[in-house]
A and B are shown apart, each in its own frame.
Chain A
């Protein structure tokens, strides 16, 4: 055995075991319970509406949550400019890594480009606020995610997943602090709205990342 393979076997001792076929077949196609799971896996991978419906029932996103999102429209609309200004003109362009995609070839912030990105982000938020959870909307969310990777974006554009999560996380907490400030005298409304947005965020983050991973994700 070479030094390398010795080291490998130490690191992964299970690999050193003799491989024996277990003789068991994967019973997904015969046992009804496993078959249901298999069908869900397959259908939610192929059909974006089925994926949304499955995720929605998992996180318990219901019509009541849609109503709560609609209730939050006024707060967001009144603060939309401030939210976007903050995300773009403070957060994104001042972060040493996030800002990399918003600079010109000399490393300076490309102001006009940032304005366009901000405008496009605004459209994204407005489309979310329309609360139309139909195929067109989910396809749009999926497409927005897909433009951040070379699959549907520019060939040399690849935004790492961790940066998407960083930005989603940042937007999430920023919105929640805004709600908390605006609704400090109505804790029940605050609960409704933040619960609904939490659920929606998780579903959006799943659909947004479809093209980042293989179908099995």
Chain B
């Protein structure tokens, strides 16, 4: 099953939610979260892009 998750130090820059808004949501004072009830496989490219721009490399996925 395709998965996406966070691992390691997130600096809460919110860029993942900007690069892949269908997948991630940025909750103020909490941080980024993976949206529920989404088809992760359908957003593979966006997820890869968000992971590429994440400054701390904490977005992990298996697609």
Chain A contact residues, CB within 8 Å of chain B: 112, 115-116, 118-120, 122-123, 126
Q: Number of B interface residues at 8 Å Cβ cutoff, please give it.
A: 8
Chain A residue numbers with a CB within 8 Å of B52 are 126
Instruction: Tell me if A123 and B15 are in contact (CB < 8 A).
Output: yes
Chain A residue numbers with a CB within 8 Å of B56 are 119
Instruction: Tell me if B11 and A122 are in contact (CB < 8 A).
Output: no
Q: Is B53 an interface residue (CB 8 A)?
A: yes
Chain B residue nearest in CB terms to A112: B11
Chain B contact residues, CB within 8 Å of chain A: 11-13, 15, 52-53, 55-56
Identify the interface centre among B12, B15, B55: most chain A CB within 10 Å of its CB. Answer: B55
- Which 7 interchain pairs have the tightest Cβ spacing? A119-B55, A119-B13, A116-B13, A123-B53, A115-B11, A122-B55, A123-B15
Chain A residue numbers with a CB within 8 Å of B12 are 112, 116
Chain A residue nearest in CB terms to B12: A116
Chain B residue numbers with a CB within 8 Å of A122 are 53, 55
| Min C-beta distance of A157 to chain B, whole Å | 17
**Docked pose: A115 CA to B10 CA in angstroms:** 11
Chain B residue nearest in CB terms to A84: B55
Q: From A112, A115, A119, give the contact of B15 (CB < 8 A).
A: A119
Chain B residue numbers with a CB within 8 Å of A126 are 52-53
**Docked pose: A184 CA to B13 CA in angstroms:** 37
Chain B residue numbers with a CB within 8 Å of A116 are 11-13
Chain A residue numbers with a CB within 8 Å of B15 are 119-120, 123
| Min C-beta distance of B55 to chain A, whole Å | 4
Given contacts A122-B55, A123-B55, 16 further A-B contacts (CB under 8 A): A112-B11, A115-B11, A115-B13, A116-B11, A116-B12, A116-B13, A118-B55, A119-B11, A119-B13, A119-B55, A119-B56, A120-B15, A122-B53, A123-B15, A123-B53, A126-B52
**Docked pose: A123 CA to B52 CA in angstroms:** 9
**Docked pose: A118 CA to B12 CA in angstroms:** 12
Chain A residue numbers with a CB within 8 Å of B55 are 115, 118-119, 122-123
